[in-house]
Each structure stands twice: as C-alpha cells, then as structure tokens.
C-alpha cells in the first residue's frame, strides 16, 4: 500500500490587497471586529442611559423628593435608633419625633433668616439707590463722558422693553406658580417617604431585593449596605463642611458690619451642599452686598474672608473629610457637579456627588473590592422564597377543596340529621 509523503505546513500569507491577520474567507481583521463589537455595545448602553435620564427628567417631581428623603433618612436614622433603644417609645413615635424636629429646625432657620431680611432690606435698598445715583454720576463725569440725555435715553429704552414684555412677565408668573406647586408637592412626597423609610426601610429594601434573580440577591444586598454607609458618611461630612463655610463667612460679615449677615450665613450653608462651587457662588453674594452697603474697600475685605474660607475648605476639609468619606478625587467631584448641573440644573448639582460616590462603592464591591470589610456579610436580608407555578396551583386547589368541605359540614350541622342534605363524605 502506497503511503502519501507528509508535506510541510506552509505559513499562511496575506494575498495582495488583503489585510494582514485576515484570512481568505474573513476579510475583516480581528481588531476591527473587536472595535465593531465594542462600538455597538457602547451605543446600546448609551441609548439605555439616555432613555433612563429622559425618564428620570419626566418623573423628577417624584424622583427628586424620593432622593432627598433617602438622604434625610440616612441622616436621621441614628437619632431614630437611639430613641428606639434608650426610650420606651414605640418606633413610630421615635420616627415622628425625628421628622417633626427636623421640620421645626428648618422652619426656624428660614423664619429667622426671613425676619432678618425683612428688617434690613429697607436700609439695604436705600443704600443700593444711593449706589445707583453714584454710578450715574460716575457715568456722566467719568471716562465714558455720557451726558444726562444719553443716560435718560438708556433708562427710557429699558423701561419700554420692560413694559413691552408684559406677556413674558405673565408667562413667567404662571411658570413660577407651577413651580411653587411642584415644590409643595415635592415637599409632601419627601416627608411621606422619609417617614416610611425610617419606619419600614428594612421591609422596603427586602421587597426591592426580592424582585431580583435569586442568585444575585445577596450580592446586591451587601453592596447596598456599603452604599448606604457611603451615603451617610457623605451627608454628615457635607453638613460639617457647610457649617464651617457658613460660620466663617457669617462671622466675617458680622465683623465687617455687612448688612444681612445672618441670612447670608444661612444662604452659604444651603449653597455649600453643592461641593466646591456652591460656597463660591453664595460667597459672591456676600461680596456684592458689602459693595452696595459699605463700599469697595469693605467689599475687598469681604472677598478676602470668602477666599480664606474657601482655602480652608479646599485644602483642609475637602481632601481629608470628604475624600475619606466618599473616596473621590476632587477632579471627579468637580466633574460630577458640572455634569449634574448640565443635566438637571441645581438639583443635579446637589445630587451628583452622592450618587457618584454611592455608585462607586457599589460597583467596586460587585467587582470584588470591599471598601468596608468591617461590615462583614453576616447580615442577610429576608427575601421571598422561590415559588413554583405547579406547586402553588396544587396548594391553592387543596386549600379551595378544604374550604368547600368545611362549608358543606357547616350546612349539614345547620340542617340537622333528618334533612336531605348531601353526605359530606
């Protein structure tokens, strides 16, 4: 029997006009195939994110209050737990005390600031009018050399444009009314959700986790626990940073005798919840008030106070406290604030950093990096067991048959032994 001699395997060479790495039946190289595979997947993920952002924007009247309620529940949970452990009050009473106390504190601060504004706005308005007169004099006598007729012409044109925009003013008033209605509805939703998050938060979380596939429930539960720790650390740290900013700028304004020092401090406290950017914007309001009320020298001193407070925050509080709490680089914080404000305005700027910090913790845990190993994994959320359609149907049929049998027995007992009632056997 004749044997065919073995031949050497010849190396595959690319033909003329065919890319290197491609075969005769596969003209596209593997690198292009991989790029194409990544491209359509990334496009699909981007489309899903776009739909999610659109849906959140459409439901922002509900989504934003829920997010605010979640932040406040993380903040008030230690107080509720302390009241629940150290007093004989039921948990619902402890939750009610915490929520009512928070509302009373916020209303008290707003009332105090509003009284200060009403008390000092008249004097500030007179000083602003004097400043406008000085500005008009400077325009006439200064380097611009504008005549009184020119200034009057500009004032008249401004008045005409203002009077001609009455329809815009009406639409703006209607829009403001709608916004006030949304704010009131959002406050009510936030308080309602806050109360039940503090009262039945564990039950609600168990229901949410129970919607997931059985194999991923425990991982999601442990990741959610760590995300909640990050969210609480961010909230407490941001309150501390905002308080330091408000005290620094408020005390500086009081020393420099800037009007409305207390309302300015409250404004700085609220604005500081937008990291890095908020305190700068609200501090500039204090500088403008100092300029109008006390002149340029006082405004420069107020600007120095604002910059000093910002340096303390930027080089002391943010790197040590906020960096330790959320483990985010200042660049990531700034980019998160910018992206959040671009997508959802002020609300997006407020919620961007806690969302990014929580997602960072959750994603890292799901990929094997535990930022809080001290939490352990002994806490297991009680979730619903896995049901079986056939077994559930059989159990329902047995229960129905037992109920029918009990009803027949009851009819027999009521009818007596001498009647023609059917035999239950």
For residue range 285-305, list pLDDT tens digits in order. 888 888 877 778 888 898 898
Q: What pLDDT is recorded for position 43?
A: 94
Q: What percent of the chain has pLDDT over 70?
A: 66
Residue count (the chain): 425
Q: What pLDDT is recorded for position 282?
A: 81
Nearest-angstrom CA–CA distance, 196 and 400? 36
Going by C-alpha positions, the residue among 370, 351, 350 that lies closest to residue 360 is 370
Going by C-alpha positions, the residue among 198, 191, 193 that lies closest to residue 81 is 198
The 10 Å Cβ neighbour count of residue 221 is: 19
Per residue in 237-251, pLDDT (tens digit) is 888 888 888 898 889
Q: What pLDDT is recorded for position 423?
A: 53
Domain ranges of the chain: 56-158+176-211, 223-386, 387-425
Cα–Cα separations (whole angstroms), residue 117 to 52, 65, 131, 249, 281: 41, 28, 19, 17, 19
Buried b (16+ CB within 10 A) or exposed e, 260-285: bbbbbbbbbbbbbbbbbbbbbebbeb
Nearest-angstrom CA–CA distance, 286 and 299? 8
Whether the Cβ atoms of residue 253 and residue 290 lie closer than 8 Å to each other: yes
Structure tokens that stand for 247 in this block: 């005290």
Nearest-angstrom CA–CA distance, 131 and 81? 54
**Which residues, given as ranges, of the chain have pLDDT below 50?**
1, 4, 7-9, 11-12, 14-17, 19-22, 162-166, 168-170, 172-174, 176, 419, 421, 424
Whether the Cβ atoms of residue 264 and residue 279 lie closer than 8 Å to each other: no
Whether the Cβ atoms of residue 72 and residue 236 lie closer than 8 Å to each other: no
Whether the Cβ atoms of residue 256 and residue 290 lie closer than 8 Å to each other: yes
- Which residues, other chains included, contact 201 with Cβ-Cβ below 8 Å and sequence gap of 6+? 73, 77
Nearest-angstrom CA–CA distance, 137 and 142? 8
Structure tokens that stand for 17 in this block: 């006009």
Q: What pLDDT is recorded for position 9?
A: 47
- Which residues, other chains included, contact 231 with Cβ-Cβ below 8 Å and sequence gap of 6+? 70, 71, 74, 354, 357, 358
Instruction: Indicate yes or no: pTM above 0.85.
Output: no
Q: What pLDDT is recorded for position 114?
A: 77
């Amino acid at each position: 029997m004749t044997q065919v001699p073995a031949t050497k395997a010849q190396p595959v060479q690319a033909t003329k006009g065919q890319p290197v790495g491609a075969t005769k039946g596969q003209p596209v190289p593997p690198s292009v195939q991989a790029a194409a595979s990544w491209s359509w997947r990334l496009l699909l993920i981007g489309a899903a994110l776009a739909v999610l952002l659109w849906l959140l924007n459409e439901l922002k009247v509900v989504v934003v209050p829920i997010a605010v309620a979640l932040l406040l529940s993380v903040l008030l949970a230690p107080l509720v737990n302390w009241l629940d452990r150290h007093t004989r009050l039921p948990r619902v009473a402890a939750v009610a005390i915490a929520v009512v106390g928070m509302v009373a504190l916020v209303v008290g601060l707003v009332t105090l600031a509003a009284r200060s504004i009403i008390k000092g706005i008249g004097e500030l308005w007179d000083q602003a009018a004097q400043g406008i007169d000085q500005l008009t004099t400077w325009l006439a006598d200064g380097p611009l050399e504008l005549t009184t007729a020119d200034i009057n012409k500009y004032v008249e044109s401004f008045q005409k444009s203002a009077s001609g925009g009455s329809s815009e003013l009406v639409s703006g008033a209607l829009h403001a009314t709608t916004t006030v209605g949304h704010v009131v509805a959002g406050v009510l939703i936030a308080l309602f959700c806050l109360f039940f998050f503090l009262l039945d938060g564990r039950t609600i979380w168990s229901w949410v986790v129970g919607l997931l596939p059985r194999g991923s429930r425990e991982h999601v539960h442990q990741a959610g626990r760590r995300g909640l720790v990050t969210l609480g650390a961010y909230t407490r740290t941001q309150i501390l940073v905002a308080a330091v900013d408000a005290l620094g700028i408020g005390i500086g304004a009081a020393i420099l005798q800037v009007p409305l020092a207390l309302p300015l401090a409250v404004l700085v406290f609220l604005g500081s919840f937008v990291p890095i950017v908020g305190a700068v914007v609200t501090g500039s309001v204090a500088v403008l008030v100092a300029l109008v009320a006390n002149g340029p020298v006082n405004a420069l001193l107020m600007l120095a106070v604002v910059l000093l407070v910002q340096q303390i925050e930027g080089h002391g509080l943010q790197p040590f406290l906020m960096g330790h709490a959320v483990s985010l680089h200042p660049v990531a914080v700034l980019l998160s604030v910018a992206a959040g404000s671009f997508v959802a305005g002020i609300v997006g700027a407020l919620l961007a950093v806690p969302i990014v910090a929580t997602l960072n913790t959750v994603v890292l845990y799901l990929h094997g990096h535990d930022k809080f190993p001290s939490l352990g994994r002994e806490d297991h959320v009680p979730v619903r067991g896995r049901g079986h359609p056939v077994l559930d149907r059989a159990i329902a049929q047995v229960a129905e048959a037992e109920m029918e049998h009990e009803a027949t027995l009851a009819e027999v007992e009521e009818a007596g032994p001498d009647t023609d009632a059917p035999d239950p056997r």
